[in-house]
Amino acid sequence: MGNLKGRDFLTVNDFSRDELADILHFALQLKTERKNGKNQPLLAGKTLGMIFRKASTRTRVSFEVGMYQLGGTALFLSAQDLQIGRGEPVKDTARVLSRYLDGIMIRTYEHEEVEELAAYAEIPVINGLTDLLHPCQAMADLLTVLEHKGKLEGLKLAYVGDGNNMAHSLLLACSKMGMHVAIASPAGYEPRREIVRAAQENAAAYGTEVLITTEISQAVKAADVLYTDVWASMGQEAERMARIRVFKPYQINREVMQLAAKDAIVMHCLPAHRGEEITDDIMEGPQSVIFDQAENRLHAQKAILAKVM
């Protein structure tokens, strides 16, 4: 299973380009085997604990099904049901769960909480989402581009919208895997500087370009992949109406599609607010690979689980 056993999966930037490529090609292999009805008992007898502080559709179902398909068991652990939700220190929870489980997946708000969990756990910790990063989604996204375009290197991905955890993970993942990446966000909503700096370092190493702009036309020009996300993430519901006004020009629609490459594919990590960040006709159109992308959460995460556990 390679040399990733026991490693945490907190950010794609903790892994080399070759390691990420290895995970992606293994995901493709697992996907093909599954479609051909092959049994995959790679994690037989192993148990993944899944801690949720944030609600989820794709993360919960894909990890739970993924563990089942690999012959293991997944436990849904709501923060309300754990002592961690009543003030038990993260470091105590980490050490106790390490005695029962073979891996932990956590979906939460503060990235520091995941880092602390990983620091004290004696088993692999997988970041299922934080306010800073969403690395498993980024791996599913790379897998989807690879399937539809046949390669990653030299392609351009344009992300339009909030400089959020998804923008951060795409910046790191694309720049590391040899893709040019452009982010178009309104002023004041750009990605965090330290993430942009890390992406620029990747880009310098792999000969790619990183562009951060407020101009949507500049970002999407000749892009092979167009990507968007909701304008108000979980925890930002109070700002929703204000954000809709600010982000209105940052919609993926027919006019924007005409600026991209003719054969551009359209992606969205879901859930989508149709008519806001993306129009219904584009989401349902022939260039949309959004539901292939959603499926690939399962296959990418199975590869990560099998490699680290």
> What amino acid positions are annotated as catalytic residues?
107, 134, 137, 229, 269, 297
What strands lie across the sheet with 73-78, from one edge to the other? 73-78, 47-52, 103-107, 125-129
Residue 10, both tokens: 């907190």
CA separation for the pair 32, 299 (Å, rounded): 10
Q: Angle 197-198-204 (CA atoms, 0-180°, nearest 5)? A: 90
Structure tokens at 26: 């293994």
CA angle 129, 130, 134 (to 5 degrees): 45
DSSP-assigned beta bridge partners for residue 278: 252, 274
CA distances from 291 to 64, 78, 133, 140, 268 (A): 19, 27, 21, 11, 9
Sheet holding 225-228, edge to edge: 210-213, 180-184, 156-160, 225-228, 265-268
DSSP annotation string for 123-135: S-EEEEE-SS--H
